[in-house]
Amino acid sequence: MTVPWAWDELDADDRAANLIELWGWVRGLIARYELYDAWPVCWYRHDGFVAEVTALWALWLQAYHLEDAPPDDALTFHDRLRGVLATSAAELRRHGRHDPGEDAALLSRRMRSLDQLDRALHADLQQAAQA
């Protein structure tokens, strides 16, 4: 897959497919770094956050999959991950378009189970496709 740099240029089907692929990476990230309580449930509903996460994914791919990647790229990835979590995720929860109570309830119900988050993402994408 080509990293989906330009989300606005994708049609609905490609956007959904790329979002599911990005979610696969995010899911691994959440599990590896135990980000269950730190990762906003509604992250995929916010275009700006999706763009940031996409850039983070691209940096991770560069750091860990390019043979000639500078050794600092892995450290840069971890610094950027902390930055995204400290700023963007907090902003989404504080100033997002969703009711904070709803997000808190979703966090408590869903973030403990990545399978439930899978279902939530797929249900939202299916609902959007039918609209």
Rounded CA gap, 44 and 122, in Å?
11
Nearest residue to 53 via CA among 27, 16, 14, 17: 27
pTM assigned to the model: 0.71
Q: Which two tokens stand for residue 122?
A: 């797929």
Average pLDDT on 101-109 reads 56
| Ranges 1-5, 6-10, 75-79: which has the least confidence | 1-5
Mean pLDDT of the chain: 79
Which is nearest to 89 in space by CA: 124, 42, 55? 42
What pLDDT, on the 0 to 100 scale, is given for residue 3?
47
Query: Of 50, 54, 45, 25, which Cα lies nearest the Cα of 123?
Result: 45
Measure the CA–CA gap between 74 and 116, rounded to whole angstroms.
30
pLDDT digits (tens, 9 = 90+) for 60-85: 999 999 989 898 999 999 999 999 88
